[in-house]
């Protein structure tokens, strides 16, 4: 790794982005509504939006309700980041996985694309499912 200012700045930026993604994943895993709401507030702008083919959440309250619905539909499933993020400008792409273990046997994986606001929180995330039981492309 080079020690020039540009490389050090990029490394610090990616560390902040990875922390943001880790909070995002933690929010999807948090079952306590108050703790989840706190994670969402630290991760999303007030008018932040999540959308995928099956669900949408606009703002902190809807995001929390949407995540709770996923948790109720897939009890015991925990999300985890799969690999490093890729980012440029205010855009980030990262992969995730869930399941594939005892208590959560079905395996899911996907790629999410986010737009990061100037305050370092997500303004929007668009989710795509790459692998799921019965998924045909």
pLDDT, tens digit, 9 for 90 and up, residues 22-32: 999 999 999 99
Quote the pLDDT of residue 2. 63
Neighbours of 112 (CB within 10 A): 22
Contacts 24+ apart (CB under 8 A), 100-103: 103/76
What average pLDDT does the segment 7-19 reach? 84
Token output for 26 = 């933690």
Report, as an integer, the average pLDDT of 66-72: 97
Domain locations along the chain: 5-131
The pLDDT-based confidence of 137 (bands split at 50, 70, 90) is low
Give pLDDT, residue 12.
80
Kindly report the average pLDDT of the chain as a whole number.
Answer: 93
Kindly report the pTM of this predicted structure: 0.90
Cα atoms in the 13 Å half-sphere on the side-chain side of 74? 19
Q: How would residue 73 be classed by pLDDT, with cut points 50, 70 and 90?
A: very high
Question: Taking residues 63-68, what's their average pLDDT?
Answer: 98
Q: What is the domain class of 5-131 according to CATH?
A: alpha beta
Structure tokens at 87: 């980012």
Q: How far apart are CA 24 and CA 41, in angstroms?
A: 10
What integer pLDDT is reported at residue 35 of this predicted model?
98
| Cα–Cα distance, 60 to 49 (Å, whole number) | 9
């Amino acid at each position: 790794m080079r020690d020039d200012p540009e490389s050090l700045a990029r490394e610090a930026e990616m560390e902040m982005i990875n922390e943001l993604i880790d909070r995002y994943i933690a929010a999807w895993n948090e079952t306590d509504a108050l703790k989840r709401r706190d994670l969402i507030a630290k991760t999303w702008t007030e008018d932040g939006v999540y959308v995928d083919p099956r669900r949408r959440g606009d703002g902190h309250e809807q995001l929390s309700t949407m995540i709770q619905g996923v948790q109720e539909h897939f009890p015991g499933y925990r999300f985890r980041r799969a690999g490093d993020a890729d980012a440029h400008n205010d855009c980030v792409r990262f992969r995730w996985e869930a399941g594939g273990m005892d208590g959560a046997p079905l395996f899911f994986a996907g790629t999410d694309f986010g737009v990061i606001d100037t305050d370092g929180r997500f303004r929007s995330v668009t989710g795509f499912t790459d692998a799921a039981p019965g998924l045909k492309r």
